[in-house]
Structure 1
Amino acid sequence: MERYRNLSGESGVVAYEAGVDFIRVRFAGGDIYRYDRTRPGARHVERMKRLAQSGRGLSTYISQHVHMAYASKE
């Protein structure tokens, strides 16, 4: 996983792994969630990947638009 840059300094996201059609996100508590084209859908996943790469807004986007619509929890 790649460390999330957290440019705001306030994110609950600490790391992520982006694949062709998925993103895995590790939160500060240690839980890892996988989001993919089936849940929450390709549009959300692509937006989340862009936010992850930019280092800003991923946690907010998840809480405002994706909520609990994850494909799996590790």
Structure 2
Amino acid sequence: MIPYKNIHRLSSILAYELGDESIRIEFVSGAVREYTYANVGRDHVEAMKKCATKGKGLGSYVMKNERHFIALREMRAAQKNT
């Protein structure tokens, strides 16, 4: 994992790892979450990748969209089960 620059020193993000179609994020709490094209969509993953490489705004982006991400994951999981 790559340490998150955390330019403003207030982020909940500790580190990240970029994949072709994903980003894995390690939070200061120790939790690690993977966001993929399949579970949250390409646009969100690419936006998070940009924030990660800039070292600015990743924690805010995740917090702002987390409810949406959860809903997307649940919807896609339900679609797989039908």
What does residue 34 of structure 1 align with? 34
What does residue 6 of structure 2 align with? 6
Of Structure 1 and Structure 2, which has the larger fraction of its residues in helix? 2
Give the % identical residues: 34
Measured in 2, the distance between the counterparts of 1:31 and 1:61 equals 17
CA RMSD across the alignment: 1.2
Measured in 2, the distance between the counterparts of 1:64 and 1:31 equals 18
What does residue 46 of structure 1 align with? 46
Q: How many residues align?
A: 70
What does residue 19 of structure 1 align with? 19
Gaps of 5+ in 1: none
One-letter amino acid of the structure 1 residue matched with residue 55 of structure 2? G
Measured in 2, the distance between the counterparts of 1:31 and 1:23 equals 14
Structure number with greater CO (CA < 8 Å, separation at least 6) is: 1
SS at match of 2:14: strand
Gaps of 5+ in 2: 74-82
TM-score (structure 2 length as normaliser):
0.81
TM-score (structure 1 length as normaliser):
0.89
